[in-house]
Copies of this chain bind each other. A is one copy, B any other.
């Protein structure tokens, strides 16, 4: 509901004196780089958790929605042009509201995931705050600040699942990409290897998943036969889905 609704109040609590909450957004921004899943982290410059790495994010401002705040923060943290960021669609992950998740005050955080193609190093918003891509698989990312480790784990699980039944994987790719690159996204995020012929067949027979780039230009990824280029199609859902091997949903 929303504020008042009078007789609902059961006992000890008066709606008028609700505690003020701070509302923030946190972003789990992923990219695939050199065959590894990376996540964008920033270094905290203040207590608590000074010197720890954290997810980028910030306050929701008085006149913006959480989604707008997420897009704004993403632009600030990555230093991407507003045009580029406009094309991205941070997707709401879930909201974290444990009363003690911030030791200082009551902060409710709306978490988002975003997927980027491989980009140059983040500019870090042009100020002193460090921002960098960190490999997600290695243990390198020690303890993150606050409950960001949990948020990151939730986000990671979510994108793995969404690759199965949406066309989301193309968001990890540049505007034009080869099927080999697309396959590597799946292999990297899922941590498996896929059969190339079967992967091609599945992608190409899923209507609206990818569409060939008309001009017969081609591109090479080193040596080997140059690959045809594709761009993301208009579909957003995959029916039927492209299921992970092993059956199990990834623990």
> Residues of A with Cβ closer than 8 Å to B?
1-10, 13, 15, 18-24, 26, 42, 44-46, 54-67, 76-77, 92, 94-95, 97-99, 101-102, 104-110, 125, 127-129, 145-146, 148, 165, 237, 239-241, 243, 247-249
Contacts and interface: CB of A to CB of B under 8 A. Distances in A.
Given A239-B248, A249-B239, A64 B99 contact: yes
A57 B2 CA distance: 7
Contacts of A60: 21, 97, 108
State the number of copies, please: 2
Contact of A129 (B5, B15, B237): B5
Contact of A62 (B106, B107, B247): B106
13 contacts: A1-B42, A1-B54, A1-B146, A6-B129, A7-B125, A8-B77, A10-B125, A18-B59, A21-B108, A62-B99, A92-B94, A94-B95, A95-B110
A237 B154 CA distance: 16
A166 to B, nearest CB: 9
A207 B200 CA distance: 30
Contacts of A128: 7
Nearest to A67: B97
A98 B65 contact: yes
A250 to B, nearest CB: 10
A5 B243 contact: no
Contacts of A8: 42, 58, 76-77, 125, 127, 129
Contacts of A247: 239-240
Contacts of A10: 76, 125
Contacts of A92: 94-95
Contacts of A106: 62
A55 B2 CA distance: 9
Given A6-B45, A8-B42, A22-B21, A110 B127 contact: no
